[in-house]
Structure 1
Amino acid sequence: MWRQPKTVWSVAFACVVAFMGIGLVDPILKPIADELGASPSQVSLLFTSYMAVMGVAMLVTGFVSSRIGAKRTLLLGLAIIIVGAGLAGMSDTVGAIVGFRAVWGLGNALFIATALATIVSAARGSVAQAIILYEAALGLGIAAGPLVGGALGGISWRGPFFGVSALMAVALVATWVTLPAANERPHPTPISAPLKALRHRGLLTVGLTALLYNFGFFTLLAFTPFPLDMSAHGTGLVFFGWGLLLALASVVVAPWVQRHVGTFTGMVVALLGFAAILAVMAVFTEDKRVLVVGVVLAGGFLGVNNTLITETVMKVSPVERGVASAAYSFVRFSGGAVAPWLAGTLGERSVHIPFWVGAGAVVLAVAVLSTGHSFVRTIDAEPGHGAEPLDSETEAEAVTVGSA
């Protein structure tokens, strides 16, 4: 599995850097607010603009890549990230940083929507082994983001932005040199296909579940650094632990949970566990020890839920899986876009309220998921308990969009 061509490693490296962008700004949220005189709600828009644009862009990534090809889509996405991250690091106002984070989100959507299908087509060995490589890159990126952000942010809050821009420039050159152009273009995908897919009740139910769950997810990610009130390096280490446990749970724990208790039950337990952690953090917000332990432990529940809900998206509806995943991502990222701003605004009134709201939203997600339990339970009745290897580039691309 590890004896792969240069193309696989170059794209995998770019995947690591792309997923670093999710948690990279965590350690520098407070330094940006302090230096630029911004409020928590204003700084939280760094997440809001990034997630909002990424969510909307997911509706058109299939339309674009099916017309210009995978290599050009990857290079275009990388180029946009380089520009967005670099200009964000050069900005002197929160508004400008928020705007360039939106540009970054557009590039990220174009890149990650194509990356796994590229790895699958170029990798040696089985598709399942290629998926493991991708999951390893994803987990490493999520875990490394806060750590790199904390290290560079300890020098200057601009450091993480310039760091990503430089690393993506290396990834762009490597991808351009090592990735051959496809001999033929994929079948064009209609731009309206993802929205039409939401007519299926099972897919819409899972999407709404993820939207509500993302309120808790991004409350944890975007607001916790403020009551935590640590240095950029310290905050980075805390969220590194969170990302590390999330990656471990996604790759190792989630498949075990799925085999032994089932997809629906596993998601319910993971969501309720996450809600309980947010509730404890709401009660003991002034205790930094509770916040640190809560953040790290939350990674385990989030990792399990992420993997199970992605599997559900791929199998819950009869529509083409790449289209279903794009539709699902569009719905859930709207929750990711609103949650950071809402948490920051509520946190200016009381540091306890955002965690209570996040916990309530996650509990509500369980209630919504329960209305579609018949759709989800059918996954466990399939051969391989929903864990069989993917057998096509289309399904691999579906995982990419669903995991982003």
Structure 2
Amino acid sequence: MSGAPGPSLFNQPRAVFAVAFACVVSFMGIGLVDPILPAISDKLHATPSQVSLLFTSYLLVTAVAMLFTGWIASRIGAKATLITGLGLIVVCAALAGLSDTIDGIVGFRAGWGLGNAMFIATSLAVIVASATGGFAGAIVLYEAALGLGIAAGPLIGGLLGDISWRGPFFGVAVLMAIALLATAVLLEPTPKPARRTSVTEPIRALRHRGLLIMGVTALLYNWGFFTMLGYAPYPMELGATQLGFVFFAWGLLLAFFSITGAPWLHRRFGTAPALYGALSAFAVLLALIGLGTDTRWVVVVCVIASGVVAGINNTLTTQAVMLVAPVERPVASAAYGFVRFVGGGLAPYAAGEMVDHGNIHVPFLAGAVAVLLGVAVLTTGHRALAAADAAMAADPHGSPDEVAGEVADEFGGAPDAIDVERETTGTPRR
């Protein structure tokens, strides 16, 4: 595998960069509220458990809405779906900034999550179909956008949050409006798919063992990931700007290792061994945060260091899902997103309950156990991940369709009709 050429990242059509920029801004929403969580709690007289609902409402609505993204996109087309999702985010982010109650912000974050679901599932399919440099290059580009967005979100949230806790919401509304305009102008109109998908297809897709394994693994990983995002700011006891820079450093490592570390580890060791190592390392860091919650520097160092393993895990997991799922790429993305964001949505709320009925050490230790359970689940799909690696090594610039077909038997199911290029964007097959 070491001899495989690296994917092209920067030689892309303008439309791909427009969607990637929108991805950056969209993913800012994940970490945007981190630096202002203590400020919102103080200004609106809300408990940390109540404030955690900013994550829960956003991510649970994102999860459920993922089931409907394919149904919508197959009726109005990919471009219209992207623009509708971006528009919802602009409106809801602005309204969250205007709200004076924690319940109002939680509600508008839920609407934000609906727009986010429409955008995330469709943008991944568009980038995979349109990017040059092969499938792996498209995934690296998507994860780079994710990493940069997660890195920039806390920094912008911290800098604007020092002015007012409302500032980050208005900032995202403005940036997303720019991303909406760029997408509308640069992305060519996409024809409606020849076949309309049903709402139940993502759920039915989870019958495929490979997709279910990767989804459950991601759910357990996200349990730890969003426990850290939702509760690590409290024991640090830092100001909004300082918290912003901590999570900015974390996000930069996440972005860098998404682009460089993950592809290198994939070529050197393969998907499954690299994921075992990354997930296990993340569990150790969560356990250290849980044990050292009373020591600020321990929490800060472990949070920043976790960016390394989070970047590796995000890229390799997304790539594996697209390769092993024997269904159309938009359906696979929706099914996978539904399962993983359920974990992300429930974790902050559960962490709040653990703190209210125990102490702040418990959520991080529980998150570490969840991630280790994810490793155990992932081992049940080891052979099929190895088969996908072998297929990619044989044709590193090829379509994921053939790879999914080759590993379908390992996962217990023949592939459905897959035609992501034509059905999602109207682009001919390579």
TM-score, normalising length from structure 1? 0.91
Matching of residue 64 in structure 1 with residue 76 in structure 2: no
- State the partner residue of 2:221: 213
Structure 2 vs 1, CA of residues 205 and 3 (structure 1 numbering), >3 Å: closer, same or farther?
Answer: closer
Distance in 2 separating the partners of 1:360 and 1:54: 25
* Counterparts of 2:103 and 2:73, CA distance in 1: 31
Cα deviation, residue 373, structure 1:
2.6
Q: Indicate the percent of aligned positions where both proteins have the same amino acid.
A: 57
Query: Are the aligned partners of 2:139 and 2:315 in contact in 1 as well (CA < 8 Å)?
Result: no
Contact 1:120 1:396 (8 Å CA) reproduced: no
TM-aligned CA distance change 1:126 to 1:275, over 3 Å = closer
Alpha-carbon spacing, 1:260–1:217, altered in 2? closer, same or farther (3 Å): same
Cα offset for 1:53? 0.7
Does the C-alpha gap of structure 1 residues 371 and 19 become closer, same or farther in structure 2, counting only changes over 3 Å? same
Higher mean Cα deviation, 135-144 or 258-267? 135-144
Alignment equivalent of 1:284, drawn from 292, 297, 300: 292
Amino acid at match of 1:187: R
Closer, same or farther: CA 182–377 of 1 in aligned 2, 3 Å: closer
1:357 aligns with 2:366: yes
Deviations 1:237-275 (A, max 9, x none): 001111111111111111111122221111111111011
Q: Secondary structure at the match of 1:182?
A: coil
Question: Aligned AA for 1:246?
Answer: L
Decide which of 14, 23, 47 is 2:55's aligned counterpart.
47
The answer on whether the counterparts of 2:285 and 2:302 sit within 8 Å (CA) in structure 1 is yes
1:371 aligned residue: 380
Does structure 2 conserve the Cα–Cα contact (< 8 Å) formed by 1:210 and 1:365? yes
Q: Aligned partners of 1:125, 1:29: CA distance in 2, in Å?
A: 40
Change (3 A) 1:240 1:39: same
With over 3 angstroms needed to count, the CA separation of the structure-2 counterparts of 1:76 and 1:310, relative to structure 1, is: same
Residue 305 of structure 1 is matched in structure 2 by 313
Q: Displacement of 1:207 after TM fit?
A: 1.3
Does structure 2 retain, via aligned residues, the 8 Å contact 1:213–1:365? yes
Taking structure 1 as reference, are residues 174 and 260 closer, same or farther at Cα in structure 2, changes over 3 Å only?
closer
Could you say which residue in structure 2 is the equivalent of 1:77? 85
Shift of 1:153: 0.6
Give 2:71's aligned amino acid: F
Aligned-partner residue type, residue 348 of structure 2: P
- Give yes or no for the alignment of 1:14 onto 2:14: no
Match of 1:343 among 336, 351, 363: 351
Where do 1:3-402 residues align within 5 Å?
6-119=14-127, 132-183=140-191, 185-348=193-356, 349-384=358-393, 388-390=397-399, 394=420
* Counterpart code for 1:394: V
Give distance in 1, aligned partners of 2:131 and 2:196. 24
Q: 1:130 offset after TM fit, Å?
A: 5.4
| RMSD, aligned CA | 2.4
The answer on whether the counterparts of 2:134 and 2:399 sit within 8 Å (CA) in structure 1 is no
Moved more, 162-171 or 78-87: 162-171
Pick closer, same or farther for the CA change 1:92–1:368 going to 2, 3 Å: same
For structure 2, which runs of at least 5 residues remain unmatched after alignment? 1-8, 402-418, 425-430
Query: CA separation in 1, counterparts of 2:40 and 2:125?
Result: 37
Q: Which runs of 5+ in 1 are unaligned?
A: 399-404
TM-score, structure 2 as length reference: 0.86
Contact 1:113 1:397 in 2 (8 A): no
Letter in 1 for 2:420: T
**Higher deviation after alignment, 371-380 or 16-25:** 371-380
Alpha-carbon distance in structure 2 between the residues aligned to 1:154 and 1:66? 43
Cα deviation digits, residues 289-332 of structure 1 (max 9, x gap): 11111001111111111112112212224233332232121111
